[in-house]
Amino acid sequence: MDGNYGNNGNFGTGNSNIPNNQNGQGELTGSQGSPNYQNGQDTNAQFGSTQYNTAQYNNAQYSNAQNNNAQYNNSQSGSYQGYTANSQYNNYQDYTTGGPYGQYQTPINNGGYQTSPSGVQIASLVCGILSICFCCCYGVPSIILGIAGLVCGIVGNKQGRTNVGTAGLICAIVGLLLGIASTAFYGVTIWEMVIEALENGYYY
Amino acid sequence: MDEKKERETELFYIGLIFLAAGSVLWGVYDIALSRFMPDIPCFFLSALNMYCPGCGGTRALRALLQGNFILSIWYHPLILYTAVVGGGFMVTQGLHRIGLKGIVGWKFHNWYLYGALLVVAGNFILKNVLRLIWGITM
């Protein structure tokens, strides 16, 4: 449909999204009042040239009003092939008003990690640090704190992962392993002491 | 902001529980257990010939309770760090909750915990370097 460009300045016709550009002046090229666009008539040979009258521009894709509406003027499509200012802005508006870019919210999950830890995750890291520090206190406090830290870490990380929660989990696991090793060591040592005491008759 | 206040309330009550449990355990250990516990060498020292990450903690706490801050830092800096940071948080939060005017409870920051990890790791490395290379023991 030749003259789409020239007749009303719009590629899509009859679309309510596009302001009724009766004159087709200047919206596309900013040359309102330009002799090229007087009365919607494109007097510029360039625009009346074969280049723009080819099938590329006259085929159903470009000439069919319905397709124009859908493709160029439908703000839902997100297409900005339509070269009318309004469709451009319609499409642009989609990105600024309704879509994920329009309503920008501070992401809670930044690559899967939250920004602030919960109380349980903090407790997990505290238990993990204490578990590591208490590994030489006969091992048992370390095991208890390690298990507490592990449970808190697992529960806390289910709510949302944070660096503190992850660190708490790691510290709790390290503390638990040290606690188990320490308990085993002390258990064996105490057992040997008991055996020695029994052999030497140090019993009552 | 409400979420952070809730979290600080949670931490305050968890801190109270830790404080109470720790006080009871310390009392039981210092008064009763330490006299009767067998003299077993430290697991880390026996197995790896190294100080463990918590080595010197009880001595540090005892020194701190006696008012000897320098000795407490030497034995284990985590004890004084916890007293300053954790104690400051608990005291200011407690006073704020009581309603004392002009007192604003310290806010929780992640670096409290990262700092504690750093102190433990740094103390562990430094003590063992001093012991293994220069023979300086606690």
A137 Cβ neighbours under 8 A, 6+ residues apart: B54
Tell me which residue in B11, B42, B55 faces A122 most closely, judged by beta carbons.
B11
Mean pLDDT, rounded, for B106-117? 91
pLDDT of the residue at A114: 62
CB within 8 Å: A190 and B40: yes
In three-state form (DSSP H/G/I as H, E/B as E, the rest C), the secondary structure along chain B is: CHHHHHHHHHHHHHHHHHHHHHHHHHHHHHHHHHHHCCCCCCHHHHHHCCCCCCCCHHHHHHHHHCCCHHHHHHHCHHHHHHHHHHHHHHHHHHHHHHCCCCCCCCCCCHHHHHHHHHHHHHHHHHHHHHHHHHCCCC
pLDDT of the residue at A100: 52
- Nearest chain B residue to A142, by CA: B54
pLDDT of the residue at A37: 42
What band does A152 get if pLDDT is binned at 50, 70 and 90?
very high
Chain B neighbors of A193, CB-CB under 8 A: 38, 40
pLDDT of the residue at A113: 63
Residue A111 has pLDDT above 80, yes or no: no
CB within 8 Å: A132 and B78: no
Gap between the Cα atoms of A16 and A26, Å rounded: 19
CB within 8 Å: B10 and A189: no
Residue B70 has pLDDT above 80, yes or no: yes
Q: ∠ CA B93-B98-B103 to the nearest 5 degrees?
A: 55
Number of CB pairs < 8 Å for A and B? Answer: 67
pTM: 0.62
* Phi and psi at residue B101, to the nearest 5°: -75, 145
Q: Which two tokens stand for residue A157?
A: 């990380």
Mean pLDDT over the full length of chain A: 63
Gap between the Cα atoms of B76 and B124, Å rounded: 9
Mean pLDDT, rounded, for A72-99? 45
Residue A47: count other Cβ atoms within 10 Å of its Cβ. Answer: 18
Among A75-79, B11-15, B89-93, top mean pLDDT goes to: B89-93
Tell me which residue in B46, B52, B78 faces A135 most closely, judged by beta carbons.
B52
Percent of chain B with pLDDT strictly greater than 70:
94
pLDDT of the residue at A112: 61
Nearest to B45 by CA among B35, B57, B55, B34: B55
Residue A70 has pLDDT above 90, yes or no: no
A56-60, A144-148, A192-196 — which is least confidently predicted? A56-60
A99 Cβ neighbours under 8 A, 6+ residues apart: none
Nearest to A20 by CA among A94, A88, A79, A84: A84
Residue type, B70: I
Compute chain B's Rg from CA coordinates: 18
pLDDT of the residue at A84: 45
Gap between the Cα atoms of A144 and A179, Å rounded: 9
**The complex's ipTM?**
0.83
